[in-house]
Amino acid sequence: MQPTLEDQERHLLVKVIDRVLYKLDELVRPFVHKILVVIEPLLIDEDYYARVEGREIISNLSKAAGLATMIAAMRPNIDNIDEYVRNTTTRAFSVVASALGIPALLPFLKAVCQSKKSWQARHTGIKIVLQIAILIGCAVLPHLRSLVEIIEHGLDDENQKVRTITALSLAALAEASAPYGIESFDSVLKPLWKGIRSHRGKVLAAFLKAIGFIIPLMDAIYASYYTKEVMFILIREFQSPDEEMKKIVLKVVKQCVSTEGVEADYIRSDILPEFFKNFWVRRMALDRRNYRQLVETTVEIANKVGVADIVGRIVEDLKDESEPYRRMVMETIEKVVTNLGASDIDARLEELLIDGILYAFQEQTSDDANVMLNGFGAVVNALGERVKPYLPQICGTIKWRLNNKSAKVRQQAADLISRIAVVMKQCQEEQLMGHLGVVLYEYLGEEYPEVLGSILGALKAIVNVIGMTKMTPPIKDLLPRLTPILKNRHEKFKRTALILSVGLPIMELNSFLRGSG
């Protein structure tokens, strides 16, 4: 418990406690409370391995001391005024349940969840169910009905915090048991539906989260009905200023949309207009968690309604003045196009898309270049031969950026050649690739190792698609320039140079290797 203890020292002490437990077995009972006081804080430690060690100790302690002793030691903490103590206690009880089996703990859990003495006890009991669902996952299935019955009354509890934690526990149970177990949730559907109409704020968010995880368990016909019922509440909450509510609403929309029985026409007419109006705004790109969730939800909607409906609504935003927002648009387009291809993108949308990705690619200033690179590569590869008219413009942009003073920009331009070389071959643009080969050859004197590695990778990609014989400059001219590079110790371009040299005519390869030592 000393604050000066280092991680390694704490780890060794924890191991000692574990060995002592093993030797003492049931003789450890008088010391259970003292051990728990020291070990329970590990369950909420920032370090993953510390949490694992804490669970392991409490699991072994449960097996050595028995359920009765564990309950007796932790019972006073269940209605403790300090939330920190209650939180660590719920996690400890979930470990005991996984070690000794849920059925052994059910009678105790039932008594705690129905405690008349204090709302803290009810809150802790229901939170134990939440932690059990998180810890043991799909292993809750055999006990699902019992666990739901134990906590269902909490949806109508007089205390707001108890109602909230009950809904969150139901969400965790539904998530753990997916895609099975809908029968166990029959008794809570009515109070949940009643709750989303009467609650606001954090309680509503928790109720929506529970419904979001229960709907995917339903048969298609019921899922469609319940989605339409919950959707008008969700659309109302699209305008909520609360970031946590936004995240939950996005998650629930994603779950509802992905469920069988929800038709594309319904999504187009009822969800898309409000969804894009409220969520596709610059502010969403600045919060990392909302950013991720918005991209995932939009991709899920695209899986239902198709590429054109989604890309058509956001393609103009590739020219937005906010770079984080442009990056979010590019990432979404990349994922949608990678998943679904570009077959339903018409000629006008295709022009807007190429124009947009070129603008976004050229105007980037941040160090996170991968999003733009991946997006550009995905769009060009999805369009395939349709990209032929735009290739001179794309290659012009690449050549201009290869001459940029920033090493990151030069590297990204070379990496883009590697991504689109196959498409250039499909479009029979061998002459253009030969020209790019000459340009890259001139940049083999690059001073930055990372950039030089990308230039070699681009040359390799061109050689792979047009072949050794058609390569310009000829391979015999290229080899002497690679010799000093192989002497360099930097891993990235040593490897690329070697790969580039594989498959060369044997005479040339021999002289190349001799020259490089």
Amino acid at 392: P
Establish whether the linkage from the previous residue to 473 is cis, with ω within 30° of 0.
yes
Cα separation, 235 vs 433, in Å, equals 50
| Confidence check: pLDDT of 5 > 60 | yes
Q: What is the pLDDT of residue 487?
A: 65
Q: What is the pLDDT of residue 498?
A: 53
Q: Taking residues 315-325, what's their average pLDDT?
A: 91
Report residue 503's pLDDT band, with 50, 70 and 90 as the boundaries.
very low
Q: What is the pLDDT of residue 135?
A: 94
The highest-confidence range among 280-289, 349-358, 361-370, 493-502, by mean pLDDT, is 349-358
| R_g (Cα) of the chain, nearest Å | 30
Q: Taking residues 239-256, what's their average pLDDT?
A: 89
Cα separation, 148 vs 181, in Å, equals 11
Place of tokens 């891993």: 491
Place of tokens 């995880």: 213
> Three-state SS for 342?
coil
Q: Where are the domains of the chain?
A: 345-516
Report residue 486's pLDDT band, with 50, 70 and 90 as the boundaries.
low
Cβ atoms 485, 497 nearer than 8 A: yes
Pick the closest to residue 74 from 58, 56, 89, 59 (CA basis): 89
Look at the alpha carbons of 77, 79, 85, 89 in this order and tell me if their dihedral is positive or negative.
positive
Q: Which has more pLDDT, 262 or 498?
A: 262
Report residue 150's pLDDT band, with 50, 70 and 90 as the boundaries.
very high
pLDDT tens-place string over residues 55-70: 999 999 999 899 999 9
| Confidence check: pLDDT of 134 > 50 | yes
Phi/psi at 263 (5° precision) = -80, 150
Report how far Cα 168 is from the mean position of its chain's Cα atoms: 21
| Confidence check: pLDDT of 416 > 60 | yes
Q: What is the pLDDT of residue 506?
A: 44
pLDDT tens-place string over residues 348-383: 999 999 999 999 888 887 766 788 889 999 999 999
**Residues in contact with 314: Cβ distance below 8 Å, sequence separation at least 6, in sequence order:** 276, 280, 329, 332, 333
Pick the closest to residue 435 from 377, 407, 394, 476 (CA basis): 394
Q: Which CATH number fits domain 345-516: 3.40.50.720, 2.60.120.1310, 3.30.70.20, 1.25.10.10?
A: 1.25.10.10
> Could you report how far apart the first and last alpha carbons of the chain are, in Å?
60
Residue 6 burial (CB count, 10 A)? 8
Cα separation, 29 vs 42, in Å, equals 21
Q: What is the pLDDT of residue 463?
A: 86
Amino acid at 94: S
- DSSP, residue by residue, 91-125: HHHHHHHHHH-HHHHHHHHHHHHT-SS-HHHHHHH
Q: What is the pLDDT of residue 512?
A: 47
The proportion of the chain whose per-residue pLDDT surpasses 90, expressed as a percent, equals: 42
Q: What is the pLDDT of residue 507?
A: 42
Torsional class of 68: left (φ above 0), alpha (ψ -120 to 50), beta (otherwise) = alpha
Q: What is the pLDDT of residue 92?
A: 94
Q: What is the pLDDT of residue 428?
A: 87
**Residues in contact with 113: Cβ distance below 8 Å, sequence separation at least 6, in sequence order:** 122, 125, 126, 129, 150, 151, 153, 154
Q: What is the pLDDT of residue 23?
A: 86
> Three-state SS for 199?
coil
Look at the alpha carbons of 42, 43, 48, 49 in this order and tell me if their dihedral is positive or negative.
positive
Report residue 175's pLDDT band, with 50, 70 and 90 as the boundaries.
very high
Report residue 125's pLDDT band, with 50, 70 and 90 as the boundaries.
very high
Q: Taking residues 181-187, what's their average pLDDT?
A: 91
Q: Which has more pLDDT, 156 or 446?
A: 156
Q: Taking residues 253-265, what's their average pLDDT?
A: 86
Q: Which two tokens stand for residue 516?
A: 């490089």
Q: What is the pLDDT of residue 366?
A: 73
Report residue 226's pLDDT band, with 50, 70 and 90 as the boundaries.
confident
Average confidence score pLDDT of the chain: 86
